[in-house]
Chains A and B, each alone.
Chain A
Amino acid sequence: MSVSVRIPTILRTYTGGSADVSGEGATLREVLQKLDADYPGIGARILDESGKLRRFVNVYVGDEDVRFAEGLDTATPSGAQISVIPAVAGGA
């Protein structure tokens, strides 16, 4: 399934500056595996050592936070928009 993945500014160093990249996979887990294969290192910024989503990074399929859906097993239907939204604290 082809999906599009929205990359936040602080992770665009991994994607050569691209804000939107295409991904493949039936679930978020597969999409993230493919993403890390395409852009080595980016997976570790989203998943921790045990392979779980990091607590300061949210991933949305459409406008739903996957933590409140099926987590990494959340289905990613063809054409889905996946957004990675890390915590940012700047304000001054």
Chain B
Amino acid sequence: MSLPPLVEPAAELTVDEVRRYSRHLIIPDVGMAGQKRLKNAKVLCVGAGGLGSPALLYLAAAGVGTLGVVDFDVVDESNLQRQVIHGQSDVGRLKAESAAASVREINPLIDVVVHNTALTTENVMEIFSGYDLIVDGTDNFATRYMVNDAAVLLGKPYVWGSIYRFDGQASVFWAEHGPCYRCLYPEPPPPGMVPSCAEGGVLGVLCASIGSIQVNEAIKVLAGIGDPLVGRLMIYDALEMQYRTVKVRKDPECVLCGKNPTVTQLLDDYEAFCGTVSEEAQEAASGATITARELKEMQDRGDDIFLIDVREPNEYEIVSIPGAKLIPKGEFLNGSALEGLPQDKKIILHCKSGARSAEALAVVKSAGFSDAVHVGGGVLSWIKTIDPSLPTY
């Protein structure tokens, strides 16, 4: 399905621009007309992280005239394995600023707009309204549903991509011409069911594989060339080196873009819609959360405790709290961990930052270990407050 160009062409290209974009200009499908459309285009990249890095670099090089960057985070050393728009000297710097600097270095002929802020229900409509197309490079369900809803309500196309370990997915959601994200996945998974990249990891170069598909599709939609990935989901498996596409249908029952929409404005609270921690976990953790320092004091006093690390084996291998026994969260969720727990010791659970241990705590408590607790902030908090010499990840 080919679609009309999203953007009208700019009046002209300067001599500098013709020289710079000559390899585009001699492609018949792009040509002067296509490049002028790119020059007139305003594209917003949500997130200057794994997907945002390659997306911004290539959108800038391609000559997209106005490029917006939204990010609130600062560059961390653990980002550099994949977020190639940032460099070693950018560690500690705001990502939006760092990304904008790289973009200006790659292409001084375009305008960069820095949005040094978290995208919220308060600002998303206003920020999006200044752009023709959105590239979604965020890392959580709450923001993704908010991006989708705002884009649909404003009638804007957005290019979606997501990554996990060796798996990537991409699509173009554009309610006017096809399905939206809610047509594909009407509801987010409950918290704890789908791990994030911070928990599960991601192959660095996978970001480029998916980010470049997103840029490819953005350029096609802006210039009106080819068959955009509207109504199709691209699924990439980097281990098997396979691309597959499946159909994504517009759901007539979609609450947002269906025949009788019930969602006609942004939700009040996307975090609540997606839930960062399940209700069971919140309940279990309330009044049963200790600090890393309290754990250290218990160990120093020689209290009769049984410390369990509920992360995955390769995380345990990176860094662990002395004395902790590894029993991954999955063994609590399927119940197999319970029979091995001692009845006569106080059970203390921990994970990386406290979310997974709260989930496991709910299981342990409902199995009758009523005095079990978990460590708020997990091993990261232990490293920060007890032993800063240990590596973080």
Could you list which residues of chain A lie within 8 angstroms of chain B, going by C-beta atoms?
Answer: 8-10, 13, 19, 41, 45, 54-58, 60, 63-65, 67-68, 83, 85-92
Contacts and interface: CB of A to CB of B under 8 A. Distances in A.
A91 B194 contact: no
A9 B166 contact: yes
Interface string B123-166: 00000000000001111110010000000000000000111111
B190 to A, nearest CB: 8
Interface stretch (B239-247, B289-297, B348-356): B239-247
Contact of A88 (B169, B240, B247, B249): B169
A91 B163 contact: yes
Given A8-B167, A92-B137, A92-B197, A65 B334 contact: no
Interface of B: 47, 49-52, 79, 83, 136-141, 144, 161-167, 169, 184-189, 193-197, 200, 202, 233, 235, 237, 239-240, 244-249, 251, 330, 334
Contact of B136 (A54, A56, A64, A91): A91
A88 B163 contact: yes
25 contacts: A9-B166, A10-B164, A19-B237, A54-B189, A55-B185, A55-B187, A56-B189, A57-B189, A60-B246, A63-B244, A63-B247, A65-B246, A65-B247, A65-B248, A67-B251, A83-B235, A85-B235, A86-B189, A87-B185, A88-B169, A89-B138, A90-B162, A91-B50, A92-B83, A92-B139
A56 to B, nearest CB: 4
A37 B2 CA distance: 45
Contact of A90 (B185, B197, B240): B197
A92 B330 CA distance: 24
Nearest to B138: A91
A11 to B, nearest CB: 10
Nearest to A13: B330
B298 to A, nearest CB: 32
B347 to A, nearest CB: 23
7 cross-chain pairs, A with B, having the tightest CB-CB distances, nearest first = A92-B49, A92-B139, A90-B197, A55-B187, A56-B189, A87-B185, A63-B246
Contacts of B188: 56, 87, 89
Given A56-B187, A64-B247, A89 B139 contact: yes
Contacts of B140: 89
B194 A86 contact: yes
Nearest to A64: B247
B47 A87 contact: no
A60 to B, nearest CB: 5
A92 B194 CA distance: 15
Contacts of B249: 65, 68
Given A55-B186, A55-B187, A60-B246, A91 B139 contact: yes
A9 B165 contact: yes
B162 A89 contact: yes
B83 to A, nearest CB: 8
Nearest to B162: A88
